[in-house]
Structure 1
Amino acid sequence: MQIITGDETGLLKLIDLEKKDVIKKYGEQGKEFKVIQILTLQISDISFFLVLREQSLVLLDNELNEITQINIDSSPLKGFCDSNHDIYIIYGNRKINHIKYDQDQNIFLQQKTLNSNDFLPLNNCKDKYVTSAAISSDYSLLLITYFGAPPSIFNLKLKQLQWQSRNVKNDELDLQVKMHDYDGLFLDDYSVGVITTHKTLRIYNILQQKSQPIAEHSLKHSKTKVTLIRAYNQKYYMINERGEILIYQNDFKFERMIKGTFGAVRDVTFNKDYIYTVSIDRFLRVYHTENVRIPLAINLSQRLTAVNFYCSEYKEIEIEKQQEKIWTIQNGREAKARFAGMRRHTIKLSYLDKMFENHKLNKLKKEQQKLKQEQQSIEIKQEYDEVDYQSKFKTIENKKIKKQKQKQKILGLKKSKLLVNKPNRKIK
């Protein structure tokens, strides 16, 4: 399996996970080439890479050869691409640009701003800016969260503001903290979830205009602020500033936490039972959703900002042929990857089932050993208690016998003294 990553210097690297090596590179180093996001664009059932950089939008083929590019404004925040080759770029200054890709001419058409008069209530405010953006499944609604303003939804087709929440009590008054939402996503067609600076997840109803949250879920299991939220396989994955991955069930019940990253995670992607993360500690890491171990970690020498798969066709072919080779730690030892630069000794297993079978067998063996140890300890305690009780009983009996003998001796002495000192009384 192959994966592509982007970093702060502007380099794109194509990595083979089996060889754990960089196959090909693309890009130049510089601040203006910083990689923000890596998207996929499908043209006639073939996947291409759409790279959003600091000042340009680049289209690459599967071998990282440049097809076309277009200059954009600096400091983009996020980008989205639908099946009709409509590309939307969101900026931190509350601006949305629309770019259309022409498949016949292989060029990007001129970009247009989608902001209408209804969507500009925040332009006069200097301290309010966009923190995150999420798009609905049909690519028609855009959820935007702000610093200093409530979250809102923009309709991309109608080009107007469709929904905006109301300020929650104590957000700006009693706590004296401005509203700051880090990330959000569409839970379904009728509700959205937003992560706040108070380590809570607020759920809003889209059908109610200027609505307050329907429910709030505390993220108390995270000691620091949660900055990213992703949904995958009916579970929610939340990542905090430390790089810890918190897994919540569909009803937002806490399931478990995955540790292993030293520093903030910049991007996350999923594939079957695996989680792929890139972080500022320069490591590409692979996690398993149901296992504590870190199967793979590769140091790529630069601070990573984006990650994506090579292409969907290659993934399907490789999974069918090789059944997705994975990596586990030798002798079942857990990988501790909290610090950068740690060396790991890994071995390859050819099938996924073998790993889980060995894992289950190890669990059963450990449980059996625990039961045996408990039984042996119980038997030893019983024997010790019996011996101890017998010895104590014997000592008590001996003491009683000694006391009785002493009493008999004392009584015998008293009787003998009485007989000796008995007065001779004669009756006159």
Structure 2
Amino acid sequence: MQIITGDETGLLKLIDLDKKEVIKKYGEQGKEFKIIQILTIKIADICFFLVLREQSLLLLDNELNEITQIAIDSSPLKGFCNSNHDIYVIYANRKINHIKYDEDQNIFFEQETINSKDFLPLTNCKDKYVTSAAISNDQQLLLVTYFGAPPSIFNLQQKKLQWQSRNVKNDELDLQVKMHDYDGLFLDDYSVGVITTHQTLRIYNILEQKSQPLSEHSLKQSKTKIKLIRVYNEKYYMINERGEILIYQKDFKFERMIKGTFGAVRDIAFNKEYIYTVSIDRFLRVYHIENVRIPLSINLSQRLQAINFHCAEYKDIEIEKKQEKIWTIQNGKEAKARFAGMRRHTIKLPYLDKMFENHKLNKQKKEQQKLKQEEQSIEIKQEYDEDDQQPKFKNIENRKIQKLKQKKKILGLKKQKLLVNKPNRNMK
């Protein structure tokens, strides 16, 4: 599996998780090249990378080769792209740019700033800025949260403000901490959820004009402020400043917490049973949703900002399906194979019976040869034992007799030496 990441210096890295190595790099180091987000866009049934940087918007192919780019204003916050190749870039200063991509000419059209007054409801407020943005499933509504102002929803097709919430009573009276919404998302077609600085999740109903929150859910399980919220498999994943991942069920009941990151998590991605995160501690980490341990962590030397999966070309997949692959037999079992994109249990080839018969015959021949070799070796051993059995025993007895004789000789010599060296007791 391959993953693409972007960091603060402006480098894009394509990583092979199996080898734990960086396969390819793209980009130049510099503040103006800081990567903010990595999106995917389909052009003629082929996936491409759409990279949002500090002062430019890039379109790259599957091998990280540059196709085209366009200069944008500095400090973009987030970007979205729909199926019609309409690209929306949201800035912290409450501005939205609309950019269109032309497939035939491979260029971006000139960006258009949406200057509607409905998109700038807080123009006169200098201390209010955008903190996050989220798009609906049908890619028609845009949820924007602010620092010091209630969240708002804009209709991208009609280019006007569609919904705005009312301030909660205590928000304006709190002098220590201004009203601050960190992140939000669309729960369904009729409601949105917003995370506040008070460690609460507020749920609003879109159908009610200028509505107050329908309900609030406390997030006290996190000791620090929660900055990100994501949805996957009917569960809510919330990430705080420490990099801890808090998992909540569909009814917002706390399930458990995943630790392991030293520093804030900048981006997160999901695939089957695994969670992929990049953080400012320079590590790409892979978590298992159910297991506590971290299966994989890779140090990429720079503070990471964005993550996305490596997109494969659909044409190559179709070619692989059409290739005919013959089955092989190893150790009497069917080897894994595919034929014309069909399932294994539906494949019936005419020459399979012959292959099985030949395989059985080969097995029988090998077994017969082994039996013959064993019989011959046994006969040779018996003949050798019958002929040479007596001389073998004689040799063994002769060796024993020789050893005894040597021992007696040695003992006799020792006695003689003692008698020779024995002093005469009568002599004084």
The TM-score bracket by the shorter chain reads: 0.7 to 0.9
In the alignment, what sits opposite 2:28?
A: 28
Report deviation, 1:44.
Answer: 1.4
User: Which ranges of structure 2 fall in alignment gaps of 5 or more residues?
Assistant: 322-428
In the alignment, what sits opposite 1:88?
A: 88
In the alignment, what sits opposite 1:102?
A: 102
Distance change >3 Å, CA 113–CA 38, structure 1 → 2:
same
Note the aligned Cα RMSD (angstroms).
Answer: 1.5
Q: Does residue 297 of the first structure (1) align with residue 287 of the second (2)?
A: no
Deviations 1:221-260 (A, max 9, x none): 0000000000011000000000000000111011110000
- 1:244 partner letter: E
Report deviation, 1:312.
Answer: 5.2
> CA contact under 8 A between 2:279 and 2:305: conserved in structure 1?
yes
Distance 1:270 1:156 in 2: 27
In the alignment, what sits opposite 2:206?
A: 206
Q: Superposition pairs for residues 156-235 of structure 1, below 5 Å?
A: 156-174=156-174, 176-235=176-235
Distance 1:62 1:179 in 2: 43
Q: What percentage of residue pairs aligned between the two structures are identical? A: 86
- 1:74 partner letter: S
> CA contact under 8 A between 2:278 and 2:284: conserved in structure 1?
yes
> Tell me, what secondary structure is at the counterpart of 2:291?
coil
Give aligned pairs, total. Answer: 318
Report deviation, 1:113.
Answer: 1.1
In the alignment, what sits opposite 1:12?
A: 12
Report deviation, 1:175.
Answer: 5.3
Q: Superposition pairs for residues 101-140 of structure 1, below 5 Å?
A: 101-140=101-140
TM-score by length of 2: 0.73
Distance change >3 Å, CA 22–CA 208, structure 1 → 2:
same
Distance 1:262 1:194 in 2: 25
> CA contact under 8 A between 1:276 and 1:285: conserved in structure 2?
yes
**Which structure has the bigger radius of gyration?**
2
Q: Superposition pairs for residues 56-75 of structure 1, below 5 Å?
A: 56-75=56-75
> Tell me, what secondary structure is at the counterpart of 1:250?
coil
> Tell me, what secondary structure is at the counterpart of 1:171?
helix
TM-score by length of 1: 0.73
Distance 2:311 2:232 in 1: 19
Report deviation, 1:306.
Answer: 0.3
Distance 1:118 1:49 in 2: 32
Distance 2:187 2:15 in 1: 33
- 1:119 partner letter: F
- 2:110 partner letter: Q
In the alignment, what sits opposite 2:370?
A: none
Report deviation, 1:117.
Answer: 1.5
Distance 2:180 2:288 in 1: 32
In the alignment, what sits opposite 2:422?
A: none
> CA contact under 8 A between 1:115 and 1:160: conserved in structure 2?
no
Distance 1:259 1:121 in 2: 40
Distance 1:139 1:267 in 2: 21
